[in-house]
Amino acid sequence: MPVEIGKVIEGTVTGITNFGAFIQLPEGKTGLCHISEVADDYVKNIHNYLKEQQKVKVKVISVDGNGKISLSIRQAQVKPPSKSSQPVQTEWQRKNVDAGLSFEDKLSKFFKDSDEKQQQLKKHGKDNRKGNGFNTRKEILK
């Protein structure tokens, strides 16, 4: 079987270095799997992932003009399909309860709601001025 870019083939780990692993491929060819192509997560010590004479599936990433073969173990792994291939549908339109009001009416309603919320905060004791850094609208207007 000739070595073709994009093919997944089985090989045997013949040597391990601090930068990757040499993989013996069919037909006596040897390729290098760089340490960054061993696993999806960060690989600090390649010996935690591979052992010599271990059989591995690799994907051929590239073959240069000199015959050097670059391999990837992580790209050869079959990943489970995602839970949903469809994007999540989101309702982006707001329900405008103030649609028929004029600007002045909306502003008046806003001030009324704001005053009610301020009164609730004062009533429940959550409006102590120490450390919260917030001023009420009435304090700002003074």
Instruction: Quick: pLDDT tens for 62-106.
Output: 998 888 999 999 999 877 766 656 677 777 676 677 777 888 988
Look at residue 89 and tell me if it is in a domain.
no
Look at residue 141 and tell me if it is in a domain.
no
Residue at token pair 């329900």: 95
Contact 47, 72 (CB under 8 A): no
Query: What's the mean pLDDT when you consider all of the chain?
Result: 83
Say whether both 17 and 66 belong to one domain. yes
Say whether both 55 and 109 belong to one domain. no
For the cut 70, the answer to whether the pLDDT of residue 12 exceeds it is yes
Say whether both 111 and 52 belong to one domain. no
Range of the domain at 109: 99-128
Number of domains in the chain: 2
What confidence tier does 127 reach under pLDDT thresholds 50, 70, 90?
A: very low
Say whether both 15 and 63 belong to one domain. yes
